[in-house]
Each structure stands twice: as C-alpha cells, then as structure tokens.
Amino acid sequence: MKNIYSQIIKNKKQGKKSLAVLLDPDMYDKLPQIIYQIKKIQPDWLFAGGSMVQNNHLDKMILQIKKKCNIPIFLFPGNNTQISINADALLFLSLISGRNPEFLIGQHVIAAPILAKSKLEIIPTGYILVENGKTTSVEYISQTKPIPRDKADIALATALAGEMLGMKMIYLEAGSGAAKPVPAKLIKKVSKNLHIPLIVGGGIRNKKQMKKAFEAGADIVVIGTAIEKGQFTG
C-alpha cells in the first residue's frame, strides 16, 4: 500500500482532522490493554517507535497489531535500528529545530539503503521540538535544544524552511510525556502559513487539549502516554 500520504493530503483538503496513537514497543507486555484502548478510540493512524526504545519488540508488536486492527502503521523511528518491513509507512524524520547533524542527516544515510529495498512508504517529515517545561527523552537523546514556547516566529521560520526543502509534513513535538503540550498560539502561527500537513503531539492527555490543537490548525494529533495508561479522558 503506497497511498497513505495521498490520503493525508485528501483529508487536509477536506478539512478532515485525524488522530494517531503512538505505540511504544517497550509497552509490548501491555499490548492487549493497548489494543483494547485502540479499538475503543478508533484512531485513523498508528505510529510505532520512540526516542528511547530499549528492546527489540517493534516487529512482533506490529505483527500482533496487524492481526487485531486494520489501521495503517507508521514507523516513528528514534534511530536507524527502529525499522520494520511489516509497517506501512515511515516518517523519515529530520530534527530541523536542532543542529545535531546525526539527527538531521546522519541516521538517514545509514537507513536509506535498507529503506530503498523495502515496500515502506517513506514520508519525509520536518521534526520540530518545542520547549514543554521539562527535559524530555527526545531532547536529551538528540542533544538538541527545543524552540522556546513563546518563539512562534522561529517555529514558523523552521517549518517553512522544512517545506521549502521538500519535506512533506511538519511534526510539532513537545516530547512524549511533556509537561505542557505545544501552545495553541504557536500551532496557529505555523498552520496558517504552511501548505503541507501539520502533525502535533506531546503531552496531550484529554479531548479538550486534542480539540484545542485541531482548532489551532493541526491536521493530525498524536497521543501516546495517556492512551498507554488508559487515562485519555473526555
């Protein structure tokens, strides 16, 4: 299946917002409960991966989920070890808010020959970290500095640079388990001036926060921790 991105574009044109649930391969032992939550919430997409994955359960987790739900799975890799040919698509993330060459292009060079031989739909995505009130794993592991919460103009300039470089989506990330999600004002500023789909995630724990991100212009909202813990509330 190689039509996931065209579906995302179609959704954007029609103003259809979508929800992605992030699955952490380290939570493999809790998979039955997570699948229960997924069936209840019925997200449009599933993302799999993370910046701090400590086992090799990714492949078997994807295969288990595929048996139980018919929802496209995107790899959301924290590094080049998190590749599974059993997923449908891969967010080819370049951490454009940072200045660490390893996460801008280094990991990509190592992964590209493997990806070229796979059937994964590769979606180049500009990944932008936004300050959230505490140090997240992605900030620490990537050794990059997030964009300050009140610097919407810097976030916009970064997102525009990503779009001009040919990236197909922008991901505004507060970080998994963020103290505060990406501010609505910053999402609004970026979404108003961007032409490609906008993903927003990190620290979104309830429907009110999800709605706020959608209203500010997110096309896809990502929720991980709150769903993992069964705490995603109305």
Distances (CA, A) of 33 to 28, 29, 30, 36: 10, 9, 6, 5
Q: How far is the CB of 60 from ligand 1GP (least distance, A)?
A: 21
Q: How far is the CB of 81 from ligand 1GP (least distance, A)?
A: 17
Q: How far is the CB of 102 from ligand 1GP (least distance, A)?
A: 18
Residues ≥6 apart with Cβ < 8 Å to 62:
48, 73, 84, 86, 87
Which residue in this structure is represented by tokens 């470089």? 165
CA atoms of 222 and 92, how far apart (whole Å): 16
Whose CB is nearest to ligand 1GP?
Answer: 201
Residue placing its CB nearer to ligand 1GP in the complex, 152 or 221 = 221
Residue placing its CB nearer to ligand 1GP in the complex, 2 or 228 = 228
Binding site for ligand 1GP (CB under 6 A): 22, 173, 176-178, 201-204, 222-226
Residue placing its CB nearer to ligand 1GP in the complex, 113 or 234 = 234
CA nearest to 97, candidates 139, 128, 130, 143: 128
Q: How far is the CB of 175 from ligand 1GP (least distance, A)?
A: 6
Residue placing its CB nearer to ligand 1GP in the complex, 4 or 52 = 52
Q: How far is the CB of 91 from ligand 1GP (least distance, A)?
A: 10
Long-range contacts of range 103-108, CB-CB < 8 Å, 24 or more positions apart? 103/142, 103/144, 107/79, 107/80, 108/80
Cross-strand pairs, 45: 20
| Single-letter amino acid, residue 150 | D
CA atoms of 65 and 219, how far apart (whole Å): 24
Residue placing its CB nearer to ligand 1GP in the complex, 100 or 113 = 100
Residue placing its CB nearer to ligand 1GP in the complex, 197 or 203 = 203
Q: How far is the CB of 116 from ligand 1GP (least distance, A)?
A: 26
Q: What angle do CA 130, 132, 136 make, to 5 degrees?
A: 90
What is the token pair recorded at 182? 């990406």
